[in-house]
Structure 1
Amino acid sequence: MIKDTAEQENSILIVGGGWAGLATAVKLCQQGHHVTLFESARQIGGRARRISIETDTGKNLAVDNGQHLLIGAYHTILELLDDVGVDVEKNLMRQPLKLNMQSLQGNGLSLSTPKLPAPLHLLFALLGASGLKIRDRLAALRFASTLHRGRLATAINHQDISVTALLVQQKQTERLIAAFWEPLCLAIMNTPLHEASAAIFIRVLSDAFLKHRQDADLLFPRTNLGNLFPDPAIRYIEKCGGHVHLGMRVSTLKIENQKISGLYVDEAFIAGSHVVLATSIPATLSLVKTQHELSSLHTNISRFKFEPVTTIYLQYPADVQLSQPMQGLIDGCTQWMFDRKHCNQPGLIAVVISSRGPHMDETKDALAKRITTELAQLFPHWPDSLSQFVIREKRATFSSSVGINALRPDNQTTVRGLWLAGDYTNNGYPATLEGAVRSGVQCAKLINQTI
């Protein structure tokens, strides 16, 4: 059955059913191409997929494998959702940027953007922020003004430095770094401040804050991520005549005379003149390691390092809620808290811890206890949580470290007809859903130009 469908004339084979692979497939379908997608897992969506957790009552809840946040600057995702028939206004709750950074010591920070054009909305948000002294605000304003002039991005792209070095260079205060820049950097890049690439950080800041006011808006999914994009994408692909095969692992690529001729699913050969590897970095390394034509690619992406993300789902009684959909914590193990009531899951709080740290050495039970203790200190009026569920993705993202952009491959490889799609490719963004989708859209565009 696979052979019959995949060998249709001009069929493009896509390996990997994460957001990059699905974006590639959707765009190719739009352009009239026949696609066949293979996903080794039994479920679509990659690292941003739907999973099921069990509550204290034995009820199963559909949640995300890791809590994700979208922003208004993620135009590629928003356009793609519209392409596959998703009602964006219905499925995403849009809110002007409002940061409420709590503190166990009582010295938090809060800011919100007024309805002013960019970048004035950011400047006035910083001026009106509570929890900052005058010197902190002036330092932030100077940095924002420097960003707006654009010369800084040019210099950093020429010679990348760490975000820590950037903030020191721009004379940001210790308070501003601890309460604002560090939480923001971890949320955006999932990489420690002293290792994170300033070039990538500036790129996202510029997109979010310097172009249009709405780009800084926070977009909270009203449903799980599987319902938001992967499921509608599959329906769209199949409606266009494409095929999606789950639970089928591609084992080998067939390359002849510097050109791709197909792939193997176990022992079955599937012919194809165009193959897109939309797989994770480890899976891509496995597929290209024996191909001498791709030795340079293998060398570069084997140098990527990875960062974990830990998500703790805490079920409280249904009347427990945060004062806003997302809140941060600047001096605890907890970094971000999300209220899942907007996903019709009242009382469910998702706590996110980005990157590595001592928490990775704790047992899941010990970590859950530590987090519930912190939340009890922040919200003493809350009752005890009814259940806890800890998810550790040890290789959740690549590390957006200094100089990483020089190692990121283009969509087109040195083998004719073999393409790459994934957040790690050369799209300028950190390991985000927007980066993955941008890569997939660009890959489809390049393929269409060659056919």
Structure 2
Amino acid sequence: MSLVHKPPPPHVVIVGGGLAGLAAASGLVGRGLRITLLESRPRLGGRASSFTDPVTGELVDNCQHVSMACCTNLTDFCQRVGVADLFRREPAVVFLGPEGRVSRLRAGLGPAPFHLTESFLSARYLNWRDKLRVGYGLACLAFRPDERPGESFADWLRRHRQSARTIDLFWSTVLVSALNEQLDQMDFGHARKVFVDGFLSTRTGFQMELPLVPLGELYGSRLEEWLRAHGVEVRLTTGVRAIDCDEDGTLRGVVLRTGAPLAADFVVLAVSFDRVHGLLADSLTTRIPDLLGVELLQSSPITGIHLWFDRPVCPFDHVVTPGRLVQWIFNHTVIQGRAAPRSSATSGSEPGSSSHDSQYLQVVISASYDLLLLDKLAIRDAVLADLAEIWPVAQEARLLRWWVVTEHGATFAVRPGVDRLRPPQRTPVDGFFLAGDWTDTGWPATMEGAVRSGYLAAQGILKDLDRPTRLIRPDLKRGRLARWLLGPPAEAPMPFHPTMPRSNLAAPDPPHPPLRPSLSGSEQDA
């Protein structure tokens, strides 16, 4: 009897353990592949991560990350890896106007796209003239956008009768936080997508999903445990020096930072856009003309301010503060059940102890260009002064501990025409794929975009193995009226340029049926 030699399973190496790399890995498990995930840092999660307070030992998020119900692929990913129960949905968004008047954005009785009309008309931080202007602008944006090439969204707003007041209190309040860019530097198409897909298309798309645990647990330890349990080799503190290829550009694998080669049949490069060219040899770069635009991408900063008070200051679970330095405030004492730490340090803290009445707030300032020249103490003091104007008790409260964290490269900047610079996930190099929110996903720089990119890269690999599988989940279904007025949702981009079959690498049948994507209603480093 002759023995039949069974070829080893195709080897997929994923470089980068942010959400894009994690999504790619999750989409490939259970399909008869050998998967290796390389991450240079000692933890997974990329920009959606935490650091350990050196004194208290607790995890502190770099910055608050929020999902929305319209982020169907992020929802699918969280369900796939078993962390979907670690979010709470907010049915309403709380706004606190400059005069201290509270408004809540929630769905009313009407169908989309008019389900938020009642909340909008009752917004107490806008007068009736403001509401008429904004209503006109929203109608133009949704139904006849008349975009001009290269026009910033601020210019579009001014061309459509928006005043400085409506731009400051309404448009900036929503879009700067959503896209991490100032309106005068913002691409029109991405701004329109936020309103159409997030607020107008469905009755629930605008609802926030807040993590109940620190990001370091959510996308770090729990994801690592899940991946290992599903056969993925996770190698932390393992940097990559270069993508390994022959002189003719044929992919061989990667070269680790130690100089050791790691052979692979497929490589998914899931790192931040500013690191891509440094990992590619000239023979590879010249074969991927789409990468020329990546060098022109720019980044936008986000600043997160963590404040532990000896008493309650903010009476809300979360609140948006239009027209202020402080943009969003999240009450982590309520959301995550976290109070002030029991011990304090000489750096970033003042003497004090925890009590059941203490409060931990996280303040978010997006597109924080104006803060880049300030030191952390000046930023802290400016935020405290702003909070004291909102709630005088903040001036009386004692600050037990604080952190200021600015991520200079938090997202790619959504400048006008930016989508022309974003490459697809598939490259002309056989077996080499890109992933990251900066690739062509049809979405801005979001966790949803990162997950979509990872899914698209995984789809490309499976197609090359003659096992085509659709991982990308559709957008939330639009009602009849929304479809008639807004049209159908845009189709997700597919990574399939001319198909490059790799039949000699066809994966063996997995021991169990492939995982089926669940139906459901920032970034990377290596």
What TM-score, normalized to structure 1? 0.91
Matched position secondary structure for 2:53? strand
Query: How far 1:23 moved relative to its partner?
Result: 0.4
Alignment check: 8 A CA contact 1:327 1:337 kept: yes
Answer yes or no: is the 8 Å Cα contact 1:238–1:244 preserved in 2.
yes
> Aligned partner of 2:193: which letter?
R
State how far apart, in whole Å, the 2-side matches of 1:137 and 1:436 are: 35
Question: 2:56 maps to which residue?
Answer: 59
Among 294, 318, 335, which residue is 1:301 paired with?
294
Residue 103 of structure 2 is aligned to residue 110 of structure 1: yes
Matched length: 433
1:428 aligns with 2:419: no
Larger radius of gyration: 2
Contact 1:293–1:414 under 8 Å retained in 2: no
User: 1:389 maps to which residue?
Assistant: 403
| Counterpart AA for 1:227 | E
Please, which of 376, 392, 405 is the counterpart of residue 380 of structure 1? 392
Q: Is the 8 A contact 2:90 2:209 kept in 1?
A: yes
Percent identity, aligned pairs only? 28
3-state SS of paired residue (1:345) = coil
Q: Please show how residues 195-210 of structure 1 align to structure 2 within 5 Å.
A: 195-210=185-200
Matches for 1:393-408 after TM superposition, within 5 Å? 393-408=407-422
Determine if contact 2:95/2:322 at 8 Å carries over to the other structure. Answer: no
State the match for 2:95 in structure 1: 100
| CA displacement, residues 339-373 of structure 1 (integer Å, 9 cap, x when unaligned) | 11211113111111111433211111121122112
Q: Where does residue 12 of structure 1 map in the other structure? A: 12
Give the secondary-structure state (helix, strand or coil) at the position aligned to 1:94.
strand
| Greater helix content | 1
Query: Which one of the candidate residues 218, 229, 232 is aligned to 2:222?
Result: 232
Counterpart contact for 2:242–2:281, Cα < 8 Å: no
- The answer to whether 1:126 aligns with 2:126 is no
Structure 1 residue 169 displacement after superposition: 2.7
**Cα shift at 1:202:** 1.0
Partner of 1:80: 77
Alpha-carbon shift at residue 258 of structure 1 (Å): 3.7
User: Residue deviations 1:421-448, cap 9 Å, x none?
Assistant: 0000011222111111111111111211
Cα 1:355–1:122 shift into 2, 3 Å:
same
User: How does 1:32-431 map onto structure 2 within 5 Å?
Assistant: 32-53=32-53, 58-86=55-83, 88=84, 90-103=85-98, 106=99, 110-116=103-109, 117-149=111-143, 151-152=144-145, 155-156=146-147, 159-256=149-246, 257-265=248-256, 266-288=258-280, 290=282, 291-294=284-287, 296-317=289-310, 319-341=311-333, 342-346=335-339, 347-382=359-394, 383-431=397-445
* Aligned equivalents of 1:261, 1:95: Cα separation in 2: 47
RMSD: 2.0
Tell which deviates more after alignment, 139-148 or 377-386.
139-148
Question: Aligned letter for 2:92?
Answer: L
Contact 2:12 2:267 survives alignment (8 Å): yes
How much has 1:398 moved relative to structure 2? 0.9
Task: Give 1:32 shift.
Answer: 4.0
Q: How far off is 1:420 after superposition? A: 0.4
Counterpart residue number, 2:355:
none
- 1:250 is displaced (CA, Å) by 0.9
Unaligned runs of 5+ in 2: 1-6, 340-358, 466-526
**Which amino acid is the alignment partner of residue 260 of structure 1?**
L
Matched-pair contact (CA < 8 Å) for 2:90–2:207: yes
Query: Partners of 1:311 and 1:81 in 2: how far apart?
Result: 24
Given residue 228 of structure 2, which amino acid in structure 1 is its aligned partner?
E
Letter in 2 for 1:446: G
Deviations 1:358-399 (A, max 9, x none): 321111112112211221222112312211111111111111
Q: Report the 3-state secondary structure (helix = DSSP H, G, I; strand = E; otherwise coil) of the residue aligned with 2:286.
A: helix
Alpha-carbon displacement from aligned partner over 1:236-280 (angstroms, at most 9, x marks no partner):
322221101001111111223343111111311111121000011
Alpha-carbon separation, structure 2, partners of 1:30 and 1:192: 43
Gapped runs of 5+ residues in structure 1?
1-6
- String of CA shifts for 1:389-427, please: whole Å, max 9, x gaps: 111111111111100000100001121111000000011
